[in-house]
Amino acid sequence: MEILPNNIESAHRVGMAAIRHAFPISRQFFSGCLKFVKIAFFLSFTIYYFIMSQIIVSPSQTQFSSQENETILSAAIRHGINLPHSCQSGVCGSCVATLVSGSVVQSGEYDDYVLNQDEIAAGKILLCCSQADGDVTVDMPSYAGAKAIAIRTLPARVANVDIRGDVAVLTVALPKSPPFQFYAGQYMEILLKDGSRSYSIANAPSQKATLEFHVRLREGGLFSPQLFSGSLKSGAIMRLRGPLGSFYLNDESADKPLILLATGTGFAPIKSILMQLADTQPERVVHVYHGTRVAAGLYDETALRQLLAALPNAKYTPVLSRPDADWSGATGYITEYVLRDYADLSGHEVYACGSPDMIHSSRQMLVAQTRLPENAFFSDVFTAHV
C-alpha cells in the first residue's frame, strides 16, 4: 500500500495503535525498563571501579588498574605494559619491586633464593606473586616506562614447520606494517582457544618479516602436538602477543665478554642474542654453552655453527649429560664446564636460559666461585607447560 505524504501522520497513529493492540505493554513500562537498565549500568560500573586497585610504578609513574584475583604483573601485561618479568611463576626473580605504599596479598609461592627474608623485610615483592589490596605504589627502577617496547596482539601466518627430533622449529610470517619490534632474548605468547603458550623468539630483531620459535613436543600439550601431527599447516593464521619479558642483552655494558648458557630449547633466545651480536657487535667476546642429554638435542647446531663463523671471538661448547657411545665431546653439566674454563668472571656478563635447576645452580656457583657480580647474571627460566 502506498502512503501519501498528507496521510503520513494518520498512518503513524494507526500503526502505533496496531502495535499497542498486538503488544499490550504500556509506555510507563518501557520507561521503567530504561530507568532500570541505566541504574544497573551505573551500579555495576561503580562496583567494578571500587573493586579495582590503582597501581603506580615509579620512577616512570606508569599507572594502570588491577582487578580482584589478578596479580599486579598480569594486570600490567593485560594493559600492554611490559614490566620486567620472565617466568611469571615466582622462579626467576625478574619481577622484583619495592612496595612504596599500600599493601599486597601474596598469591603465589616462591623459594627463599628468589626473595629471602631480609629482602622481604626491606619491602621487596614479586609482582607475579602479589595481588594489590587497595591502591598500591611500587618502585621498579629497571622498568623503562614509555621507552619500553609496547606489547602488541597481532596475527601471524605459519610459514614453515621443521621437525627435528622432539623439537619443531616454527617460522611465522608477520604483517608488514607496522614493523614488529623486540629485543633479542624476549618471548611471545601464542594465543590459543583454551589458553596460551609462551615461546622465546629465536631470530634477530633486525629480521622484521618473520619470527622463529623452538617448540619441544609435550604429549597431550595444548599447542606442540598440533605442530608434530601436521594439523597446523603452512598458511594457518595464529594470534600472538608480545614482545614480553626482560631477558635481553644489556646495552649499558656493551664491551663486556659474555657467557651464554642454554639447556634444551633454552637455546632459542641465546640464538637471537648471537644473531644480534653478529649484526651489531661481531667482535664481542662470547662463549656459548649448550647442554642437552643426547647429541640429537643439539637440534640447531648447523645454524649455530654458521653464526659462529660470523663471530670471530666466539667459542662454543656443547655438553651432553647422557651421551651416546660415539660422543667424544664434553659430558656432564654446562656449569661444570664454565667453572673449568673460567676462574674469574668478575668482568663478564652471563645470560642463561633453560631449566630452573640449571639457572639456580649456575647463578649460585658462578657468583660464589668466580666472583661474578650478582647483577651480571641474567636469566630466563623455562617452566614446563603441557
- If one asks whether residue 97 binds ligand FES (CB under 6 A), the answer comes out as no
**Residues 105-124 contacting ligand FES, CB under 6 A:** 114
Among 66, 82, 86, 335, binds ligand FES (CB under 6 A): 86
Nearest Cα to Cα of residue 379 among 344, 349, 345, 339: 349
* CB neighbour list of residue 361: distance below 8 Å, 6 or more residues apart: 333, 335
- Distance, in Å, from the CA atom of 378 to the CA atom of 246, rounded to the nearest integer, reads 9
- If one asks whether residue 85 binds ligand FES (CB under 6 A), the answer comes out as yes
Q: How far is the CB of 129 from ligand FES (least distance, A)?
A: 7
**Residues 217-256 contacting ligand FES, CB under 6 A:** none
- If one asks whether residue 287 binds ligand FES (CB under 6 A), the answer comes out as no
Neighbour order of strands in the sheet with 349-354: 330-331, 314-320, 286-292, 258-263, 349-354, 377-381
C-beta of 94 vs 292, nearer to ligand FES: 94
Q: How far is the CB of 52 from ligand FES (least distance, A)?
A: 22
Among 62, 94, 130, 263, binds ligand FES (CB under 6 A): 94
Q: How far is the CB of 315 from ligand FES (least distance, A)?
A: 30
- Distance, in Å, from the CA atom of 41 to the CA atom of 348, rounded to the nearest integer, reads 58
- If one asks whether residue 82 binds ligand FES (CB under 6 A), the answer comes out as no
C-beta of 90 vs 318, nearer to ligand FES: 90
Q: Are 191 and 156 in contact (CB under 8 A)?
A: no
Binding mask 128-147 for ligand FES (x = CB under 6 A): x-------------------
Nearest Cα to Cα of residue 339 among 319, 316, 362: 362
Distances (CA, A) of 257 to 227, 280, 290, 312: 37, 15, 17, 13
Among 75, 81, 95, 244, binds ligand FES (CB under 6 A): 95
- If one asks whether residue 126 binds ligand FES (CB under 6 A), the answer comes out as yes
* CB neighbour list of residue 239: distance below 8 Å, 6 or more residues apart: 153, 154, 155, 156, 190, 191
C-beta of 92 vs 278, nearer to ligand FES: 92
Binding mask 162-191 for ligand FES (x = CB under 6 A): ------------------------------
- If one asks whether residue 269 binds ligand FES (CB under 6 A), the answer comes out as no
Based on its alpha-carbon atoms, the radius of gyration of the chain, rounded to whole angstroms, reads 27
- The footprint of ligand FES (CB under 6 A) covers 85-88, 90-95, 114, 126, 128
